[in-house]
Structure 1
Amino acid sequence: STSSLLDSIERRTRLSQKAYNSDCLPVLRLLAEFVQMLPASESHHHAQPGGLWIHMLEVADAALAFRAGLELPRGVGTEDRKRLEHRCTYMVFIGALLHDVGKPVADLRVTVFPDDPRLGKPWAALAGPMEVGQYYRVEFAPKDEREYQLHQRLPAILAQRFVPEHTIKWLGDEPQLLGELFKYLSSEDAPQSFLPDIVRQADAASVKRNLASGPRTRFATAKVVPLIERLMQGLRRMLAQGGLLPLNKPGAVGWVYDGAVWFVCARLADEIRDYLAQHESAEGIPSAAKNDRIFDEFQDYGACESNPDGSGAVWKIEVELEVGWKSPPLTVLKFPLVKLFGADQSTWPSPIVGSLKVLGSASKAAAANVVVVPAQTSEQGTGAAPQLTQPAAVSNASPG
């Protein structure tokens, strides 16, 4: 919840209560008022109402956790490091919180309805926050109209709206650190700065967490269907229709074993791509040269199990059936049956009559290449979170 994130952020800053209330709390209050219940994306991570606020807090919390394990700033002595400790921590706090603050201006089209619900007007985000209690509608700018460069520059412009003047002056006592912060917020190159790596790692951690276990709610105005939904729906339909993805026989696409279906990587990607192109559209589906993107999509959303040896989503196996057939080494993705067929085990396909052996590590590059398994004539059987300020009501914000 946002309340637990806020508590964690406060602890990780290691500031006194007085300093936190003076320097951090005003930033959080103003930022919550500004982003309201806006999403962080249209169909990717944190696309639900309030997603941008949650993402900002998650990134700040993770960034502060990473910062705790680092000696900052780099290249200075122990005394200077101790003297600058809280300034470096505050830089991480601000850099992480504001990394995506430009999204409401550059990526979204927000219409506010101050009085008459029939008469809306565009929200000018640069002019200030929406009034609390107003209804508003969120729409997403077409991708070719999104101003990504503006999105990158806006954090530096908006920072002075959120960060107290006395705090900026305090940071300004160390001009190099203040300069590093504003270079980062402006997306300028700062090769010696510690901020980009910390915030990048924290951002990736927040995105990964949300994709794997976050809600799938999206704004009703979102037009883009997430790639993972298209892939999983296509895969489930192909399995339901039978025959499109042969299982449990020599030359099959997959084998059922140990509560999972083990699909040959490249063959699965090619079959799903062809199916979606035939029944929907090939638009937005990675090409055969980018099969690894499909593997990543399955892994990032927790649809398939990661290999504990560090090979990501890819496993390497050999299959041996009692009918006397043995596969060559195969690179596969491991999908738990419950992810594909639901919790009712009576709908699950039967496991193979034979064995499946997990081999050594497998690379994603190898998995992207098609492995042709020679077929035999004999066959095996087929088998709502607390906010710092009251957000304005969201109009047209229902699950996508």
Structure 2
Amino acid sequence: MIPAACYSRAVMLSGFFRPAAPASDDRHELVARPGSELLAHHESLMAAIRSLVAVPPHHWRTLYLAMLENFAALVQLAPASETHHHAEPGGLLRHSLETVHEALLLRRGLLLPPGVSAESTAARADLWTYAVVSAALLHDAGKPVTDLRYVTLAEGKEKSWNPLGGPMPPGSRYRFRFDRRRVHGRHAAVAPLLAPLVIPATGLQWLASDPGLLALWVAALREESAGENVLADIVKRADRRSTAADLGNCVEEMDSRPPRTRFKPLAERLMSGLRQMLLDGILPLNAPGAAGFLDGDTLWLVSKRTLDTLRERLHETGVGGIPERNDRLMDELQQHGWLTPNGDRAVWRCEIRIGEWRQTLSCLRFPAERIWADASSRPEPMDGSVHIVEDPASQETRESDPACSEERGNGKDATSSREEDVEHSASLPPPPPPVRSDADAAGKEEGPESDRAASSTKDPGERFVAWLRTGIEEGRFLINTPQARLHVLVQGLALITPGIFMDYAPLEWYRV
């Protein structure tokens, strides 16, 4: 029995549209506005959040709306990143609201807190919802402190401003820039310090009323205990969904009509991720053993190391559709003119010389202006030189391309690892055979007796029930846990949909 209360995940429409910038659209000098004015540009998203929270009007105003307005007033028009996701003015506010929305959708499918009685779950449900919303809202709140540098402008004088001192007064004129010395990931340590500036005192006291939840909440803000902390897992998954939606779509404004969306090409997603990794220092430059070398106006990146790291980073942020083969990635970048080809190939064999250090590597060649549009933002060139060497493998097929083999002199296997989404449990039964049409099934020879029994019915729904029964009998499903797809109720067995159908047949689950 599948109760009607089981839900299908709503489509996040607001995440597919990049809203127009607020009225003050001077990218060099901005005006601080009240939080309510900034939130007015996200009316549909705010309405969706309020619907999912489902609290009385007084509680919405005093606990939720006050928190959201305080957050908006604090971050103003800060972007979420310099070149990656939500990089436009106001991108941090949009990303944070989208993350709250996605976190609420995820929370709706979980029994929280885990491992307690039904009475305790019902009594603490609202508190856990508030913890989810506030943690999702604040997950990137530290970026204006650690990644940006602000100055306010008054009477022709500039004065440094830091969000830790509280929001700017409405009407203040300000500018910001990204700090070139910022350290990737440091913003997480600052987020708890901003909580008193965003969350109303009554909300903080409510969170503190449950010491166990408060500990999980602080750990989630600091991005600790992922995999062991259900709150941190919800925020991480919601963050990835918002990021993936932004990187996968961009907009074209059409007068006063609603914006249209188009799929962002793979090459643009690759270059966006590559630029951000260089800005964050994930790909070190200009040192022995580095991932890249800036020689004049040319950036040389060690091919396999760069592409493996890029793929892993995009997977971690929830960006889909990234090919697993490096030659596919190189083809995409070469086809769109992002890198400088070596004849009909993408890879160059280069000898890197820095002092006494020498190394021959397979590299990708990028014009520096394609990475850093602003020449003043480029790092200093390397204190050394790059020399192109004749590649004896240049006549081989692409399958034997040096970019897909190890760098010379490096004995380590530089395999890439994709972070698995926590919503897919490793305890699931093996994937079923593909869902086939009757005509396809009729054209196949039947296998052994066990195979014939498994495929004795042509109805996808019946095959799903058989797969489900087998998994339960063999104990290969999680049941009655926060991450479980299956929950045993007095009325029967409840399934979390469409997730359970996607586990069964990821490509054709809708036929089930």
TM category (shorter chain) comes to 0.5 to 0.7
Q: Which residue of 1 aligns with 2:305?
A: 289
CA distance in structure 1 between the aligned counterparts of 2:152 and 2:241, rounded to whole angstroms: 33
Q: Does 1:160 align with 2:193?
A: no
Q: CA deviation at 1:106?
A: 0.7
Q: Which residue of 1 aligns with 2:216?
A: 180
CA distance in structure 2 between the aligned counterparts of 1:190 and 1:279, rounded to whole angstroms: 42
CA distance in structure 1 between the aligned counterparts of 2:60 and 2:317, rounded to whole angstroms: 36
Q: Deviations over 1:110-132 (max 9, x none)?
A: 1111332xx21111221111122
Q: Which residue of 2 aligns with 1:371?
A: 399
Q: Does 1:210 align with 2:251?
A: no
| Closer, same or farther: CA 207–301 of 1 in aligned 2, 3 Å | closer
Q: Which residue of 2 aligns with 1:128?
A: 166
Alignment of 1:266-345 (within 5 A): 280-282=297-299, 285=301, 287-293=303-309, 306=321, 312-314=322-324, 332=328
| Closer, same or farther: CA 171–230 of 1 in aligned 2, 3 Å | closer
| Closer, same or farther: CA 206–298 of 1 in aligned 2, 3 Å | closer
Q: Which residue of 1 aligns with 2:146?
A: 106
| Closer, same or farther: CA 80–124 of 1 in aligned 2, 3 Å | same
Give the residue type in structure 2 aligned to 1:41.
Answer: S
Give the residue type in structure 2 aligned to 1:281.
Answer: T
CA distance in structure 1 between the aligned counterparts of 2:218 and 2:318, rounded to whole angstroms: 36
Q: Does 1:64 align with 2:100?
A: no
**1:80 aligned residue (100, 120, 123):** 120
Give the residue type in structure 2 aligned to 1:282.
Answer: L
CA distance in structure 1 between the aligned counterparts of 2:238 and 2:185, rounded to whole angstroms: 21
Q: CA deviation at 1:178?
A: 2.1
**2:134 aligned residue (91, 94, 111):** 94
| Closer, same or farther: CA 286–16 of 1 in aligned 2, 3 Å | farther
User: Given that residues 180 and 190 in structure 1 are in contact (C-alpha distance below 8 angstroms), is that contact kept between their aligned partners in structure 2?
Assistant: no
CA distance in structure 1 between the aligned counterparts of 2:224 and 2:271, rounded to whole angstroms: 39
What SS is found at the alignment partner of 1:5? helix
More deviation, 23-32/179-188: 179-188
Q: CA deviation at 1:182?
A: 2.2
Q: Which residue of 1 aligns with 2:420?
A: none
Q: Which residue of 2 aligns with 1:36?
A: 76
User: Given that residues 33 and 129 in structure 1 are in contact (C-alpha distance below 8 angstroms), is that contact kept between their aligned partners in structure 2?
Assistant: yes
**2:63 aligned residue (14, 19, 23):** 23
Q: CA deviation at 1:186?
A: 3.8
User: Given that residues 95 and 199 in structure 1 are in contact (C-alpha distance below 8 angstroms), is that contact kept between their aligned partners in structure 2?
Assistant: yes
What SS is found at the alignment partner of 2:97? helix
Q: Deviations over 1:70-113 (max 9, x none)?
A: 11111111111111111111111000000011111111011111
Taking only aligned residues, the RMSD between alpha carbons, in angstroms, comes to 3.9
| Closer, same or farther: CA 199–302 of 1 in aligned 2, 3 Å | closer
Mark the runs of 5 or more structure 1 residues left unpaired by the alignment: 218-226, 234-275, 307-311, 316-329, 342-368, 374-400
| Closer, same or farther: CA 286–38 of 1 in aligned 2, 3 Å | farther
CA distance in structure 2 between the aligned counterparts of 1:300 and 1:340, rounded to whole angstroms: 25
User: Given that residues 103 and 132 in structure 2 are in contact (C-alpha distance below 8 angstroms), is that contact kept between their aligned partners in structure 1?
Assistant: yes
Q: CA deviation at 1:69?
A: 0.7
Q: CA deviation at 1:183?
A: 3.0
What SS is found at the alignment partner of 1:92? helix
Q: CA deviation at 1:209?
A: 1.0
**1:196 aligned residue (217, 232, 235):** 232
Aligned residues: 268
Give the residue type in structure 2 aligned to 1:4.
Answer: S
CA distance in structure 2 between the aligned counterparts of 1:297 and 1:189, rounded to whole angstroms: 20
Q: Deviations over 1:365-386 (max 9, x none)?
A: xxxx95149xxxxxxxxxxxxx
| Closer, same or farther: CA 297–89 of 1 in aligned 2, 3 Å | closer
What SS is found at the alignment partner of 1:282? strand
Percent identity reads 33
Mark the runs of 5 or more structure 2 residues left unpaired by the alignment: 1-13, 15-41, 254-265, 273-292, 338-396, 402-512
**1:10 aligned residue (28, 50, 60):** 50
Alignment of 1:349-360 (within 5 A): none
CA distance in structure 1 between the aligned counterparts of 2:166 and 2:90, rounded to whole angstroms: 18
What SS is found at the alignment partner of 2:299? coil
User: Given that residues 98 and 159 in structure 1 are in contact (C-alpha distance below 8 angstroms), is that contact kept between their aligned partners in structure 2?
Assistant: yes
User: Given that residues 184 and 195 in structure 1 are in contact (C-alpha distance below 8 angstroms), is that contact kept between their aligned partners in structure 2?
Assistant: yes
Give the residue type in structure 2 aligned to 1:196.
Answer: A
Higher relative contact order, chain-length normalized (CA < 8 Å, sep 6+): 1
Q: CA deviation at 1:188?
A: 4.6
Q: Please report the TM-score for the alignment, with normalisation by the length of structure 1.
A: 0.58
Give the residue type in structure 2 aligned to 1:67.
Answer: R
CA distance in structure 1 between the aligned counterparts of 2:96 and 2:324, rounded to whole angstroms: 31
Q: Deviations over 1:170-226 (max 9, x none)?
A: 233322112321232244547643111111111111111111113699xxxxxxxxx
**2:187 aligned residue (151, 166, 187):** 151
User: Given that residues 212 and 301 in structure 1 are in contact (C-alpha distance below 8 angstroms), is that contact kept between their aligned partners in structure 2?
Assistant: no
What SS is found at the alignment partner of 2:175? strand
Q: Which residue of 2 aligns with 1:51?
A: 91
